[in-house]
Chains A and B, each alone.
Chain A
């Protein structure tokens, strides 16, 4: 399902003395099947953009097209539920949204709100649980007896069980240990590959953006500052540094290497393996094993 934002502006508490402009003139196209990373500083408007993707916020100017529905400024929008079923959002610290007595009830809460029958929802719960890497024995437990990492996975399973066409992730791995972090990011990546699920990832981590995304949008002060493939974005590291953003470690290493040795590899490599291969090739050797 395609999503496109055109010239979206959003003001919080519009028309009061506390009015605040969060984003302006944001135009982003997200064709079906894209893995898009949205990066930027705290307060750059990432989260505001994210909430427009399933009509949680209505733009104060401009319009958002989600599939065949269009959400415009200054228009009453009815029956937004249909949109929300197709665009699942995993919020930051999603474990805060758990409330049911058992894990199973919490996972089927979303699907059942969208009219899926109980049996079908339970079936989906089992599938989703497997996807997030948990066993079925957990289904009857209370979500509040689980560890933080498990709670996070349950909450994610609750969104996956809605079978969305687009999944929006807001820093899904904040506060997890490095292993859990990688497991969850890999899981989303596999889902994206297997089901051709459009994925929008809001993140601070340039490493994740470089590794998984095929499009990157950089937000700055409520506007889209830059957009491109990871190669395009990271081959101009000066721009990133100027915006106060990080460059992935691999890229930083390659730049230092080129500067120190005078070697010019001709393009930017985004993974250690690729970089190693390129360097060895240039040096005329093979990989020693």
Chain B
């Protein structure tokens, strides 16, 4: 299942979405999450749907991969749908069976909220699918720069973020290695009674903690040795460049917002 997850995974490709400025993408996703709440009838939801699929199409991420990765989320969507379906008590009664009553409004709300959920997940995945972690961090750092005025440690936060992202694969490898070493010493991770399996986590977690702390210390020393002094006066190798596409994308989103306001019920 882990192998099919699309969250946080970057899929390299040549596309308009990949080339966009990460700042533009971050702003668009943030605004999108806000304006999706403007939709409240079929028309507006259709508009949002069209917009989402145009964006997905522009990313050139294979649709099969995208929807394959969404399968684990479908349960959550289904659960939300059922919740709305059974607990909304407005509109005409459509169907009833003993205490279970389904109303027209329930179906409508259930569908709308599931759709909203679905579009939100697609759009936010789009960000990580088309933007490398390092770009996201860079973008976030520049966007949050004004907060430095109120002494918010923007640079440190960005550094923390990029270090943790950088070490996820390393940690995964390490976990795999230690797990195998302990299996070879007779630990059973995948079978046996639950109590035993919980106990089996200790020989895995302790070595992982130890090596993480060691690695943190080594990294800190390596950074100091190379003269790291925080974000002060630091120049960047990767320059972010805001281009025409980025402005166009923002304009498109603005148009969508206006349409949504005009067409909503």
Q: Do A and B bind each other?
A: yes
Structural contact, B65 and A17, CB atoms closer than 8 A: yes
- On chain A, the number of residues with a Cβ less than 8 Å from chain B's Cβ atoms is 26
Q: Verify if B184 is at the interface (C-beta below 8 Å from A).
A: yes
Q: Verify if B181 is at the interface (C-beta below 8 Å from A).
A: yes
Q: Which of A10-62 contact B (CB under 8 A)?
A: 13, 16-18, 51, 54, 56
Q: Verify if B187 is at the interface (C-beta below 8 Å from A).
A: yes
Stretch at the interface among B48-56, B94-102, B114-122, B205-213: B205-213
In the docked arrangement, what's the CA distance between A84 and B185, Å?
Answer: 7
Structural contact, A91 and B207, CB atoms closer than 8 A: no
Contact with A96, one of B4, B65, B183, B207 (Cβ below 8 angstroms): B207
In the docked arrangement, what's the CA distance between A99 and B65, Å?
Answer: 40
Stretch at the interface among A109-117, A188-196, A276-284: A109-117
Structural contact, B185 and A158, CB atoms closer than 8 A: yes
Min CB–CB distance B205 → chain A (angstroms): 8
Structural contact, A109 and B207, CB atoms closer than 8 A: no
**How many inter-chain contacts with C-beta < 8 Å in the A-B complex?**
58
Structural contact, A114 and B186, CB atoms closer than 8 A: yes
Q: Which of B85-143 contact A (CB under 8 A)?
A: none
Structural contact, A16 and B178, CB atoms closer than 8 A: no
Known contacts A13-B3, A16-B3: does B177 contact A96 (CB below 8 Å)?
yes
Q: Verify if B182 is at the interface (C-beta below 8 Å from A).
A: yes
Structural contact, A91 and B181, CB atoms closer than 8 A: yes
Residues of B within 8 A of A139 (CB): none
Q: Verify if B146 is at the interface (C-beta below 8 Å from A).
A: no
Q: Verify if A230 is at the interface (C-beta below 8 Å from B).
A: no
Q: Verify if B194 is at the interface (C-beta below 8 Å from A).
A: no
Structural contact, A96 and B181, CB atoms closer than 8 A: yes
In the docked arrangement, what's the CA distance between A109 and B202, Å?
Answer: 12
Q: Which 3 A-B pairs have the closest CB atoms?
A: A113-B186, A99-B206, A110-B185
14 pairs, CB–CB < 8 Å, chain A vs chain B: A16-B3, A18-B3, A84-B184, A91-B177, A91-B180, A96-B174, A96-B207, A97-B207, A99-B203, A99-B207, A99-B210, A110-B186, A113-B186, A114-B186
| Further pairs besides A56-B184, A162-B185: 10, Cβ < 8 Å | A17-B65, A18-B3, A56-B180, A81-B188, A91-B180, A96-B174, A96-B177, A97-B181, A99-B203, A113-B185
